């Protein structure tokens, strides 16, 4: 069948590479939200724990509840708590919420009051991302909450993948100002790309995600990260055309008599961009092969005429992306981002962890 090879060792390598870049006084957390960017959150988390990581970030409650049993140290939940019930869930499952607005703070503080305990949290300020987080103008309103221990204050960079973007330094300066209001809290700021902006951005804890899974955190420069995922599609059929013939839905391509055609069990339901119909390439046995006709839900059609006969008949799989078809190139060709390829990987595709 079609399968993904997921190289966990390379996730550990990427973690170590990032750690080397990070200021020695800063912790290196790992973001494992969205099923570790499609790769498998449990497997990624165990691998990263072995590599020394103790701090993990997920998005919402569903992900936190899915992973709390594996967490040994800190499991942070980015989307926060909005009700007493959610606050209770975090407390009983050892999940530390990131608090993003006054309502979340009030809910969490009230819950702490009922328990008469100071509860751990991260306080999130919006320094320019304009998404989640407290307005920096409101900082005075939130420094007194008796039942919350703000372990960290955090913020999130909007343009870290563009090192020259003026917003980076503006966000940094804003966070430095906010920091002074919380002398007992640590600070977390940088995502993967933020790590490469320099040590000023590292504070007490960085939070890489994409780079762990092989996505280039420094676009426009060579990718320093090791590739983690290879996708291999099973060949269902090998045909030598007996005449000129249309292939695929909408009859958008004519393959010539004598063409060697492979039909692979991989389609857009497996996460392959249909936009690469008649455009994309895959790879087998030293050859880059054209995808012809429209990519369908479960299948794609490949022109393998370049491959010699005896090899052609024995091809069991083609590489969809991996060592030869770079996932970043595939995404760029489909006019999407690599993150979308990873998080879009279909769930029926077998994941082979190594």
In the complex with a copy of itself, the residue whose CB is nearer, 78 or 330, is 78
Q: Name the one range near a copy of itself by CB under 8 A: 7-15, 197-205, 218-226, 268-276.
A: 268-276
Rg (CA), the chain: 24
Of 162-191, binders to a copy of itself (CB under 8 A) are 162, 165, 167
In 6-83, which ranges are continuous DSSP H helix? 8-21, 33-37, 41-50, 61-67
Binding mask 73-112 for a copy of itself (x = CB under 8 A): -----xxx-x-----------------xx-----------
Judge whether 249 and 293 are in contact, CB under 8 Å.
yes
Instruction: For the CB of residue 129, give the shortest distance to a copy of itself in the complex, in Å.
Output: 7
Q: Does 339 bind a copy of itself (CB under 8 A)?
A: yes
Q: Which residue in the block uniquely carries the two structure tokens 């994941």? A: 351
What tokens were used for 141?
A: 């309103």
Q: Does 317 bind a copy of itself (CB under 8 A)?
A: no
Of 31-60, binders to a copy of itself (CB under 8 A) are 33-35, 37-38, 59-60
- Please choose, from the candidates 334, 302, 336, 328, the residue with its C-alpha nearest in 3D space to the C-alpha of residue 229: 328
Query: What is the secondary structure of 183-195 as a DSSP string?
Result: TTSEEE---HHHH
- Of 23, 70, 269, 306, the residue at the interface with a copy of itself (CB under 8 A) is 269
Strands (E), the chain: 3-6, 27-28, 30-31, 55-58, 74-77, 95-99, 119-126, 134-135, 148-154, 186-188, 205-206, 229-240, 245-247, 253-255, 260-264, 281-284, 287-292, 300-303, 317-321, 350-353
Q: Does 263 bind a copy of itself (CB under 8 A)?
A: yes
The set of catalytic residues is 33, 249
Site residues for a copy of itself per CB under 8 A: 1, 33-35, 37-38, 59-63, 78-80, 82, 100-101, 128-132, 135, 137, 158-159, 162, 165, 167, 236-239, 242-243, 245-251, 255, 261, 263, 265, 268-269, 271, 274-275, 293, 296-299, 301, 335-337, 339-340, 343-344, 346-348, 350
């Amino acid at each position: 069948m079609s399968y993904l090879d997921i190289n966990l060792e390379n996730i550990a390598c990427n973690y170590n590479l990032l750690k080397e870049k990070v200021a020695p006084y800063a912790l290196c957390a790992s973001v494992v939200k969205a099923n570790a960017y499609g790769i498998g959150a449990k497997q990624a988390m165990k691998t990263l724990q072995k590599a020394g990581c103790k701090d993990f970030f997920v998005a919402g409650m569903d992900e936190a509840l899915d992973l709390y049993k594996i967490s040994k140290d800190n499991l942070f939940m980015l989307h926060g708590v909005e009700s007493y019930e959610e606050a209770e869930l975090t407390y009983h499952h050892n999940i530390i919420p990131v608090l993003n607005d006054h309502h979340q703070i009030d809910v969490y503080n009230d819950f702490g009051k009922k328990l008469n305990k100071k509860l751990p949290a991260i306080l999130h300020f919006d320094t320019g991302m304009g998404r989640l987080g407290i307005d920096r103008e409101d900082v005075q309103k939130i420094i007194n909450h008796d039942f919350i221990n703000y372990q960290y204050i955090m913020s999130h960079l909007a343009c870290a993948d563009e090192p020259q973007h003026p917003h980076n330094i503006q966000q940094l300066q804003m966070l430095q100002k906010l920091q002074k209001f919380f002398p007992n809290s640590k600070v977390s700021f940088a995502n993967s790309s933020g790590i490469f902006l320099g040590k000023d951005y590292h504070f007490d804890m960085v939070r890489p995600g994409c780079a762990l899974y092989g996505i280039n955190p420094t676009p426009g420069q060579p990718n320093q990260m090791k590739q983690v995922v290879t996708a291999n599609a099973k060949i269902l059929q090998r045909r030598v055309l007996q005449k000129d013939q249309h292939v695929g839905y909408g009859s958008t391509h004519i393959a010539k008599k004598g063409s060697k055609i492979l039909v692979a069990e991989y389609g857009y339901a497996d996460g392959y961009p249909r936009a690469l119909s008649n455009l994309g390439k895959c790879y087998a046995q030293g050859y880059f092969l054209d995808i012809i006709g429209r990519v369908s839900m479960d299948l794609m059609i490949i022109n393998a005429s370049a491959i010699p006969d005896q090899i052609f008949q024995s091809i069991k799989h083609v590489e969809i992306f991996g060592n030869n078809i770079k996932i970043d190139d595939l995404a760029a060709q489909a006019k999407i981002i690599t993150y979308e390829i990873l998080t879009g990987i279909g769930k029926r595709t077998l994941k082979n962890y190594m």
